[in-house]
Amino acid sequence: MKALITLATALLMTLPTMAADTSHRIEPPNWWVGMRDTSLQLMLHAPGIADATPALAAYPGVTLKASHRATSPNYLFIDLDIAPGTQPGELQLSVAGETLRYPLLARAPGSAERQGFGPKDAIYLVVPDRFAQGGSGRQADMKEGSDRADPGGRHGGDLAGLRQHLDYIAGLGFTQVWPTPLVENNSARYSYHGYAATDFYRIDPRFGSNDDFGAFVNEARAKGLGVIQDVVLNHIGIGHWWMADLPAPDWINQWPQYTETHHARMTLQDPYASANDRKQFTDGWFVHGMPDLNQRRPELATYLTQMTLWWIETYGLSGLRTDTYSYSDREFLTRWSARVMQEYPHLNIVGEEWSPHPAVVSYWQRGKRNHDGYVSYTPSMMDFPLQSNLLAALTEADGAHTGLTRLYEGLAHDFVYPDPANLVLFDGNHDTPRIFSLLKNDVGLTKIALAYLATTRRIPQLFYGSELLMQSPTERDDGRVRADMPGGWAGDQANAFTGAGLSDEQRDMQDWTRRLFTWRKTAGVIHDGALMQFAPLEGVYVFFRYDAKRTVMVVMNKNAAPAELALKRFNERISAGQRARDVLGGQTLTLGDRITVPARSPLILEIER
C-alpha cells in the first residue's frame, strides 16, 4: 500500500508530464473549490484497494460522505462533499494507514462565467496528426509510429505544429479552433484520429504533453482563438487501461456475442420502434476496437462528467464538441449536459447527430419541447440536415423539390429548432468527402457554399484545407479526406502557410476565404440579425440578414452564365437609390432596377441606410 500512496501522490503532482501508470491511479487527479455542485467522487485503482476503508483528516468544509467498491477488488470510489466557501489547499486521506494528499485548487477568476462560442464565431476544424509537425511529439513506448506513406497511419502532426500556425488560422478570420481528440489513443494501428481513447486524462505523447496542450490553448487565446475540445462519451479504445481490469462487467455494454450498432438513430424517436432495435443502436459497438461504454453505471457516468469538467477548468476551454452524441444513454446525456451548463452557464456544447432530419437533430437541442418529454441541456448541434441540403442545392438540377429549393426549404424548417442560430453549419468534416470534390472541382460553386456558410443564420465551421481546394475521393475514404496540410512538414513542395508552391487557383481561394471570414468577424448583423429568404428562381437564391440599422443582401447564382436580377421583388428590404458595397469585390454601387450577378458566384452586398 505504501507504493500506492507514493505513486498516487506523484501522479497528482506530475500528471501533465509523466507516463501513464496502469496499476496505480487516482482520477480526477485534482479538483477545485467553488464548484456549483459540491459533490466529488474519486476513483482509486491499485491492487486490492477495494477492501480499504478511507478516512479524511479534518478539513473545514470537506466531508467524506461514503466509499464503496465495484466488482473488481482493485477499485475504490470515495464520495466527498466540498461546501461553498471552502478554501483551496490539500486534503489528506488515510487509506490503509497511509496518507494520500489530494489538491483542492482555486478556480481561475471568471472561470464559471466564461463565454463559449456562438453565432459571432467561425470555427476551423483540424485533424492534429495531419496539420503540421513542430517537434513536440514523442514516439517512445507507443504502439504505433509514424508512416506518412500510409493514408490510415500516423503522420506525425503535433501540438507544436498547431501552435506554430495559429497566426495562419486567426489570419483567415477564424475565432475558434476545433482539433479532433488529442487524448491518448495507444492502439497498434489506426490511432491517429483520436476517437478511441486509452487514457481520458492524458494527451497522446505523439502530440505532446498536457503542458503542451495548455501552452497551445493559452497561445490560441492570446491570438483571439478559443479552443473547442472534442469529447467522446460513447466509447473507448480496446487498449484503454480499463479493459485489462474492468471495474465491473457492466462498465461496458456486453453482448453474448460481438454486436455492432446498426446506426438506426431514429429508433430513439420512433413511436413504433422495437426495444431491441433501440438497444442495438445505443449499446452496440462501433467496431471491434471501440468498446461501448455503459453510462447507466453510476460511477462511470460520474467519471465521464467529472472528466469533462476537469478539462474545461484546467485548460480554460471555450466549448465542447461531443462525438456520436445520441449513441450514449439518453438519461445520462441529460444529466451530463445539465451539470456542464450548471458549472459554465455561458459555455457552448455542440453535439454530433448525423441525421438529415431536422426533427431528429432538434430533439437534442436545449429548449426543445419533445413529444416524449425528453429534456436536453446541450445548446448546439451539428446541422447535418442543412449541410446535406446545401450540397444538394449546388449539385442537383433545380425543380419544385430539388436543387436550390432544397436549401430554401431546409432553412424553412428552422421552426422545429428552439435556437437555430446556435447550430453549427459546416462545409465538411473529417468523416465526409471534401466539398470541392463533391462539387466536381468547381471553384465557383465552392465559393457559393462557403459564402452561404458565412452568412446564413448559423455558426460556421470550415474543415482545414477547404481554403486550398483540397480534394478527396467522393466516396468515404477517411485517410485521404484527412490528408496532410501542405507545408506542415519539412520538405513539402507546397506550403499553405507561406503560399509557396500553391497554384494560382489555390492562392485565389485562400485569399477569398480570408476576406470573407475577416469581414464576418465584425459584421454584427450576420451574428445576430434576422433573416428573410426569397424562393429561388431560375438558378438564383437570395436572402437578407438585417436589423433596425443594418442590411446585408446575399445572392447565390449557380448558373453557368451571369444572371440579371430584377430588384423590385426585394422591396421589403431594399429600394432603388440605396448605396451598396460589394463585400468581396470592394466596389460600391447604387441600386437601380437590376443588378448583374456573375456566373457561378456569390454576391454579398452591405446596404447603406
Query: The domain spanning residue 28 has which CATH number?
Result: 2.60.40.10
386 part of a folded domain = no
Beta strands in 524-578 (DSSP E): 530-537, 540-546, 551-557, 563-566
pLDDT tens digit sequence for 125-181: 999 999 999 999 999 899 999 999 999 999 999 999 999 999 999 999 999 999 999
- Statement: residue 406 has pLDDT above 50: yes
- The reported pLDDT for the residue numbered 96 is 77
Mean pLDDT, to the nearest integer, of 432-454? 98
Counting the structural domains of the chain, the total is 4
Better-predicted residue by pLDDT, 546 or 11: 546
Which residue in the list 230, 283, 343, 352 is annotated as catalytic?
352
Tell me the H-state helices in 209-297: 210-222, 275-283
Does an H or E element contain 453, and which?
A: helix 443-455
Which residue in the list 129, 144, 184, 323 is annotated as catalytic?
323
Three-class DSSP category at 248: coil
Q: Could you tell me if 348 and 237 lie in one domain?
A: yes
112 part of a folded domain = no
Q: Could you tell me if 497 and 564 lie in one domain?
A: no
- The reported pLDDT for the residue numbered 98 is 85
Q: Could you tell me if 15 and 64 lie in one domain?
A: yes
Looking at residue 300, its amino acid is L
Q: What is the mean pLDDT of the chain?
A: 95
- Statement: residue 244 has pLDDT above 70: yes
pLDDT tens digit sequence for 531-555: 999 999 999 999 999 999 999 999 9
Q: Could you tell me if 96 and 170 lie in one domain?
A: no
C-alpha cell at 8: 498516487
- The reported pLDDT for the residue numbered 609 is 82
Q: Could you tell me if 150 and 197 lie in one domain?
A: yes
pLDDT tens digit sequence for 474-496: 999 999 999 999 999 999 999 99
Q: What does the alpha-carbon distance between residue 567 and residue 288 come to, in Å, rounded to a whole number? A: 58
387 part of a folded domain = no
Mean pLDDT, to the nearest integer, of 439-454? 98
pLDDT > 70 in the chain, percent:
96
pTM: 0.95
Which of residues 298, 328, 352 is at a domain's end?
352
CB 202 within 8 A of CB 20: yes
pLDDT tens digit sequence for 22-65: 457 999 999 999 999 999 999 999 999 999 999 999 999 999 99
C-alpha cell at 265: 438513430
CA 474 to mean position of chain CA atoms: 23
Mean pLDDT, to the nearest integer, of 283-306? 97
- The reported pLDDT for the residue numbered 23 is 52
363 part of a folded domain = no
Catalytic site includes residue 331: no
Which of residues 522, 550, 582 is at a domain's end?
522
440 part of a folded domain = yes
Domain that holds residue 182: 122-231+427-522
Catalytic site includes residue 352: yes
Three-class DSSP category at 358: helix
